[in-house]
Chain A
Amino acid sequence: MTVGVFAPAQSGFAQQTPLISGGAGFLTYTSGGNTTYYPILEPLLAAPLGKKILVESRADLLESFSPKGAGQSGYDHSHFVGLTFLQGDYDVSPHLTIVGGEYLLPFNTYNERLTPIWIGNFQDAPLIFSLGLLSSSSGLGGMVRGNAIERNKYSISYNYFYSTRSATEQFTSHRGNGGRVSLYLPEQRLEAGFSFDRLLQGTHENFFGAHVWWEPKDTAFRLRSEFGHGQHAEGYWVEADYRTLAFGGLDSIIGRIEPVLRIQQTFRLDTIASDGLPLTNTERADFGFDYNLPHNTRIITSYARQFSSTGNQNVWETGIVYHFLFPAWKGKE
């Protein structure tokens, strides 16, 4: 099982010391014969304030080295530093948490769950990633969320957000609102959900999304999929990954291999391209081959072939990512 390599906390009593987690990686992206190199650091801080409040934040520190064009040799260099989110969570009850600050928009699943570099199976996001994310992928304002119903056979979770407009460099957001409802069936290990949001500035637009995730019991197989619909484009992606238990478990040399497949398509509904999706209908297949090394380190490689009327292209990606997780300072003895 996927918990095969899990080692719990050492014996001791659970504490709530602030923690630093995140990922550090070195990634490459090759297309059209040009390779770009990305050293990246994604630290996350989580700090409880008393029994009810948790402050958490994630940042991106990215360097980019890409070849100079126009026949020149050498590389151009640029960097990016930014906060991905900075939010406070207030536990009101077992079924309700109020979130305030800058938070990841909960449209579909990719933005909230799979964007950390130490989690995603592929380096790049799906083609429909920007649908429903109101141009910034984060909101500034408030959100309510939680587990509404928990039964043995099923559970239902929800969230609803309202975001205000902000042009501040580190807290860019658009006015909008929306939410997500998910149903989870634990016996079938099946999750299905529906998302919606509405942009409330400029030309008001609605976005809808749906997701299905499935992890069959007693396997290390995972299926994830999303569909997104906007005013001007729509699309979907389906991703599957698998690790075998047949050759000595997940800790074996073979068990650490993780083949990954992702199929995706986008469809442009009109010529207004305000949503970040390709300008023409596009199909893409990604074939990945990840390797889970010991010590929370992962090699991520993939090849993708993209088809569209503007031209087909190959994309090769490789990278190595390390996931770190440790206390921010000394706890109680």
Chain B
Amino acid sequence: MMTSKHWLIVLLVLASVSVLAFAAQKGNAPATAPTTKTLAAAKHPLEQQDEGQRVFQQHCSRCHASPEGFSPRISGTILRHMRVRASLSQHDEEALLHFFNP
């Protein structure tokens, strides 16, 4: 069974990690460097791009790093796959589709 000593260790680890996270949050300004994504966004409706990027950050980046690119032929299939894996809502799916294919 977990003793009070063990719980103390858990709490200390969680506290340390939380401090690190807040420090990281404070130390990093929002990413504003132009990327392929933001350059592409300049040519298309900003709202759709922003929403797609938000959904990508919230649902995809939670688990894995971003792939460096893929064919538009499979973007619909990727969404079908991730709809199941990440329990995407219909709205998320549509936003990501715009994000993948600006």
A interface, CB within 8 angstroms of B: 1-19, 46-48, 54, 56, 89, 91, 94-95, 97, 99, 112-114, 116, 118-119, 145-147, 150, 155, 157-159, 182, 184, 186, 189, 191, 213-223, 225, 234, 236, 238, 240, 242, 244-246, 248-249, 261, 263, 265, 267, 269, 292, 294-296, 298, 323, 325-327, 330-332
By the criterion CB–CB under 8 Å, are B62 and A267 in contact? no
By the criterion CB–CB under 8 Å, are A296 and B67 in contact? yes
Distance to closest chain A CB from B65 (angstroms):
6
By the criterion CB–CB under 8 Å, are A14 and B24 in contact? no
In Å, the complex CA distance between A146 and B64 comes to 20
Distance to closest chain A CB from B17 (angstroms):
5
Also in contact, A6 and B35, with CB within 8 A (given A15-B73, A99-B84, A155-B89): yes
Any chain A CB within 8 A of the CB of B4? no
Point out the residues of chain B lying under 8 angstroms from A14, CB to CB.
Answer: 72, 75-76, 79, 97, 100-101
Point out the residues of chain A lying under 8 angstroms from B24, CB to CB.
Answer: 216, 219-221, 242, 244
**24 pairs, A vs B, C-beta closer than 8 Å:** A2-B57, A3-B61, A4-B66, A5-B68, A8-B69, A8-B102, A9-B72, A15-B72, A16-B77, A47-B77, A54-B77, A94-B89, A119-B64, A158-B87, A189-B62, A216-B22, A216-B24, A218-B25, A220-B28, A221-B25, A223-B18, A240-B20, A265-B10, A326-B74
By the criterion CB–CB under 8 Å, are A221 and B33 in contact? no
Point out the residues of chain A lying under 8 angstroms from B20, CB to CB.
Answer: 221, 240, 242
Point out the residues of chain B lying under 8 angstroms from A325, CB to CB.
Answer: 67, 70, 74, 78
B interface, CB within 8 angstroms of A: 1-2, 6, 9-10, 13-14, 17-18, 20-22, 24-25, 27-31, 33, 35-37, 40, 53-54, 56-58, 61-81, 83-85, 87-92, 97, 99-102
B35 partner, pick from A4, A223, A246, A248, beta carbons under 8 A: A4
In Å, the complex CA distance between A3 and B101 comes to 15
In Å, the complex CA distance between A46 and B24 comes to 37
Chain B contact residues, majority secondary structure: helix
By the criterion CB–CB under 8 Å, are A19 and B33 in contact? no
Residue of A nearest to B53 (CB): A3
In Å, the complex CA distance between A147 and B31 comes to 29
By the criterion CB–CB under 8 Å, are A13 and B25 in contact? no
Distance to closest chain B CB from A190 (angstroms):
11
Residue of A nearest to B64 (CB): A119
In Å, the complex CA distance between A217 and B28 comes to 10
By the criterion CB–CB under 8 Å, are B72 and A10 in contact? yes
By the criterion CB–CB under 8 Å, are B17 and A240 in contact? yes
By the criterion CB–CB under 8 Å, are A8 and B74 in contact? no
Distance to closest chain B CB from A308 (angstroms):
14
By the criterion CB–CB under 8 Å, are A2 and B61 in contact? yes
Distance to closest chain A CB from B37 (angstroms):
6
